[in-house]
Amino acid sequence: MAGSRNRSNNLVVPQATAALQQLKVEAAQQLGVQIPQDGYYGNYTSRETGSLGGYITKRLVQLAEQQLSGK
């Protein structure tokens, strides 16, 4: 299982793939978590992957709020 070949979650807007990948990279840098080159997160702790997911979700909510408020 490497990369996005076996993804169970499909994007509603496939064109957002690059932006979401960039957000993941920014989140990892912010949290000091190294993104695996092969895309396999099996060697990471739940804390590491959970912190990435939580940070990304928080950032997506912020972006949506800004867009909805017209900023």
Express each pLDDT in 3-43 by its tens digit.
545 556 788 888 888 998 899 899 999 998 888 888 888 88
Asked if 42 contacts 2 with a C-beta cutoff of 8 angstroms, the reply is no
pLDDT at 37: 87
Structure tokens at 13: 């807007």
What pTM value is reported for the model? 0.70
- The upper half-sphere exposure of residue 55, i.e. CA atoms within 13 Å in the direction of its Cβ, equals 18
Share of the chain above pLDDT 90, in %: 39
